[in-house]
Amino acid sequence: MAKKQHEGTAEKAFKNFGKKMDQFMAELNEAGEKLGKEFEQKYQDLRQSAEKLKKEANDKERWKEVEASLKKAGQELENAVKAAFRKKKDG
């Protein structure tokens, strides 16, 4: 009977160990899912920040183009005014 009782104790120990391993694996999977969600959120945040920076950079480039065009238009207007007054003086 002592042998059977010893086998029962070993079975209980293995059974208990198996339950603890199952619980550990479930907790590990849950933690992995949480981390996966956190990483996904961080990735989305970084992606949005990158898109915002890209847009701002493009806007700055666009404003540089607008500024250059306005300068050119101002120079042409200045030249036109000078030419108009020059012709009046010559006339």
What does pLDDT average to over the chain?
A: 84
- Give percent of the chain with pLDDT exceeding 90: 22
Say whether pLDDT at 6 is over 70. no
Task: Give mean pLDDT, residues 13-35.
Answer: 90
Range 30-35 average pLDDT = 88
Mean pLDDT value across residues 29-48: 88
pLDDT at 2 (0 to 100): 54
What is the per-residue pLDDT across 18-28, written as a single tens digit (0 to 9) for each? 999 999 999 98
Q: From CA 24, how far away is CA 21, in angstroms rounded?
A: 5
- At residue 36, the pLDDT reads 86
pLDDT tier at 29, thresholds 50, 70, 90: confident
Single pTM value for the model = 0.47
